[in-house]
């Protein structure tokens, strides 16, 4: 399942919840695979990365419909 979040700086990110088991088993980390910006505020810098559950607690979960089109294109979901 893909979940969308908004960071405090206004950037959006997406996480694949199905990947948490992989990170726990192989790296002993409570992370998810996701798409987020490498450079804050730069939509064009979106990349695939590991995102911790602790970091997600600092973000606000948002509905897919609330994610702007330019972010959808960059995130790819």
Q: pLDDT tens digits for 8-49?
A: 999 999 999 999 999 999 999 999 999 999 999 999 999 999
Give the separation between CA 35 and CA 56, rounded to whole angstroms.
13
Number of domains in the chain: 1
Q: Is the pLDDT of residue 77 over 90?
A: no
CA 73 vs CA 4, 22, 27, 44: distances in Å = 13, 26, 30, 10
Nearest to 75 by CA among 57, 38, 48: 48
Q: What is the structure's pLDDT at 37?
A: 94
Q: State the Cα angle at 17 between 7 and 73, rounded to 5°.
A: 55
Domain residue limits at 56: 2-75
């Amino acid at each position: 399942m893909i979940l969308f979040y908004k960071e405090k700086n206004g950037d959006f990110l997406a996480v694949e919840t199905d990947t948490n088991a992989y990170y726990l088993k192989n790296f002993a980390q409570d992370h998810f695979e996701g798409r987020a910006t490498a450079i804050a505020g730069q939509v064009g810098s979106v990349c695939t990365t590991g995102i911790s559950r602790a970091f997600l607690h600092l973000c606000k979960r948002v509905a897919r419909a609330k994610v702007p089109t330019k972010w959808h294109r960059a995130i790819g979901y």
